[in-house]
Amino acid sequence: MDSTCEPSSSSQTQLVFEQSERGGLLLLRGGYQHNKKRENKNGTTVWCCVKWQTRKCRGRVVTKNNLVVSDDPHTCQPNFAANIIKKQLNQCRKLAATKSDPIPTLFNNEMSSLADFGLDLVATIPKFTSIKNSLYHSRNKALGVKRTTFQTASAVEIPDAYKDKILLADYTDQRNRIIVFGTHNAKHLLATVEHIFADGTFKICPKPFYQLYTIHGDLGSSEETSNVVPLVYALLLNKKQATYEILFQIIKSQVPDWNPKKFQSDYEAAAMNAMQKIMPNCKIVGCYFHFKSALRKKAKELKLNKNPVHKAHVAICGALSLLPQHLISDGYLYIMEDCSNNGQILAFNDYFVNAWIESSFFGKWSFYGERFRTTNHLEGWHSKLNKGISNAKPSFIKFLDLLLKNIKEFDLKIKQFEQGIPISYRNKNVIDFDKRLAHIITQHQNCEITLGHCLEKNLQLNVVINIKV
C-alpha cells in the first residue's frame, strides 16, 4: 500500500473548514488558507494555498477522512489573524441567515469579541461597509427573498417560511396594502367568538406600515376568569375608515361565518364606523378608561381640575356611564338641576353634550352590564409585545419573528384553555365592583333609591375602589 495515502500519526488534529467568499470550502491550517483543488479516486483531497496564483506559493495539504495525509511547506508567510477573522465573519454570515437581529448589530457583536486578540489582529478587521453586502446576501438567500428592507408597501415581500405558518391574507391595490396574519385555528375561533376587541399599536410596526392593528376574541370569560386572546394581526398603512372596511371585509372573506355580536375598542370613530357598516347588527362598545380620560383631558384644558367642586362635576358626568343606557338622559338632567353657571362649567357641558350625548358615540359609553368595561387588557398585551424589541420600528424580519413567537405563545394558551386552564383571572376588586354596582342599580329599579341617589352611589363606589374597571 502507498503510505502517502494514509494519515500521518503526527497530524491527528481535527481540521477546520470555513466557507469562502464564493461559497466553496476553505481549509484553515497553521495560519494558512487552502482552496480545494481536486478529489482523487483513492479518497484523498488536495488543498492548495490561496496565494498559489498571486504569490506562487506551493504550499499544499492532502487530506483523507478529515485527517492530514501530507503537508507541503509554504513559501508565503502565515497569517493567523486572517484565519481568526475568517472564522468570525463566517459566524456573522450564519447568524445573519438564522437570526432576525439587525445586520449591523450582529456584525458589531461578533467583531467586538476579537478586541482581546491584540492590535495586529484588530487593525485588520474589515469595516462593515466592505462586508455588509455579503451578510445581507446570506440573510436574503436563507429567507428566499430579494431584500428584507422596503421603502414602499408594494415592495414588501413575505418569506415563504412565514407565509406557510402565519399569513392569512395579502391585499394590494394601487393605493393600499393590507397584510393579515394569524393561524388556521384563529380562523376557526373567529367563526365562534361573539365578543371581539380591537386596537392598534405603533412602536412594533415595521416600515413602511403605519400600525399593527390586532383583533382579540373572548373565548368564554366568566365572573372570575378572563379568556381573551389575540387572533388577527394586520399591518395597515393608515387609520382611515375605508382601510378598516377593507380589513373587515378581508376577514369576512377568509371566515364566512365571522359574525361577532359585540365589537369593543377605544373611541376611534373610523374603526367603529367601519365595523358598523360591515357588521350592521354588531353592538359597538367603547372603553370606560378612554371615556373618563377624555373627560379629564377636557377638564384640564378648561382648567377645571383645580377646584374640588368643578372636579366633582366632571366626575359625576363620568359616572353616568355606569347607568343603564335608558337612564343616562334622566341622569344628566339630574346633574343639570344644581349645575353651576360658571363659564368653564358651561363650556364643559357643551362639550359633553356635543361629543358624547348628541354624537354617534351615544350608546357606546354605557358600561352597565358589561363584563369588560375597558380595553386595558389590550394595552397590557401591546406593552408586553413592545418589550420584545429594543428600538421602535424593527426590521421586517425581526417583526415577523416576534409575531410568530407571540402567536405560538397564545396557541399554547388556547390549547391549555381547551383543557380547562383559564387564560387569566380577573382582579378581585373588579369582581367586587361588578357586584356592588349591580346591587345599586337593582336598588333603583326596585324604587328603593332615586336616580340621583343611584348616580351619587355609583360615583362614590368608583372613588372608594379606585381601580381601572
pLDDT per residue as tens digits for the range 313-336: 999 999 999 999 999 999 999 999
Cα separation, 445 vs 67, in Å, equals 91
Indicate the Cα dihedral angle 241, 242, 248, 249, nearest 10°: 160
Q: Is 355 left (phi over 0), alpha (psi -120 to 50) or beta?
A: alpha
- What average pLDDT does the chain have? 89
Provide CATH 3.30.420 ranges for the chain: 155-285
23 pLDDT tier (thresholds 50, 70, 90): confident
Please tell me which residue, 208 or 390, carries the higher pLDDT value.
Answer: 208
Provide CATH 2.20.25.240 ranges for the chain: 3-78
Longest CA–CA span in the chain (Å) reads 114
Cα separation, 261 vs 278, in Å, equals 12
Residue 186 has pLDDT above 50, yes or no: yes
Amino acid 4: pLDDT: 46
How is domain 3-78 classified at the CATH fold level?
N-terminal domain of TfIIb (2.20.25)
> Grid cell 380577573 — which residue?
426
Helix or strand run (H / E) with residue 430: helix 428-445
Lowest mean pLDDT among 245-249, 383-387, 412-416: 383-387
Lowest mean pLDDT among 136-140, 181-185, 265-269, 325-329: 136-140
Backbone dihedral angles phi then psi of residue 5, each to the nearest 5 degrees: -90, 0
- What letter would DSSP give residue 144? T
How is domain 155-285 classified at the CATH fold level?
Nucleotidyltransferase; domain 5 (3.30.420)
C-alpha cell at 445: 329599579
Lowest mean pLDDT among 71-85, 238-252, 366-380, 401-415: 71-85
Residue 126 has pLDDT above 90, yes or no: no
- Provide the 3-class DSSP secondary structure of residue 74: coil
Q: Assess whether the previous peptide bond of 208 is cis (omega < 30° from 0).
A: yes
Mean pLDDT on 378-397: 84
- Please, are residues 393 and 410 in contact by the beta-carbon 8 Å criterion? no
Mean pLDDT on 6-28: 70
pTM of the predicted model as reported, rounded to 2 decimal places: 0.78
Please tell me which residue, 10 or 71, carries the higher pLDDT value.
Answer: 71
Residue type at position 380: G
Question: What digits encode the pLDDT tens for the residues 406-451?
Answer: 999 999 999 999 999 999 999 999 999 999 999 999 999 999 999 9
Mean pLDDT on 196-223: 95
Helix or strand run (H / E) with residue 274: helix 269-278
Helix axes 451-465 and 428-445, enclosed angle (nearest 10)? 170
Amino acid 97: pLDDT: 78
Cα separation, 50 vs 57, in Å, equals 8
Helix or strand run (H / E) with residue 33: strand 32-39
- Provide the 3-class DSSP secondary structure of residue 225: strand
354 pLDDT tier (thresholds 50, 70, 90): very high
Cα separation, 112 vs 125, in Å, equals 10
Indicate the Cα dihedral angle 301, 199, 284, 268, nearest 10°: 40
**First and final CA of the chain: distance in angstroms?**
87
* 250 Cβ neighbours under 8 A, 6+ residues apart: 169, 171, 178, 180
Question: What digits encode the pLDDT tens for the residues 32-84?
Answer: 999 999 999 999 999 999 998 877 898 999 999 889 999 999 999 988 888 88
C-alpha cell at 323: 347607568
Residue 2 has pLDDT above 50, yes or no: no
Cα separation, 441 vs 444, in Å, equals 5
DSSP for 357-426 reads ISSTTTTSS--TT-S----HHHHHHHHHHHTT-SSSS--HHHHHHHHHHHHHHHHHHHHHHHTT--SEE-
Residue 9 has pLDDT above 60, yes or no: no
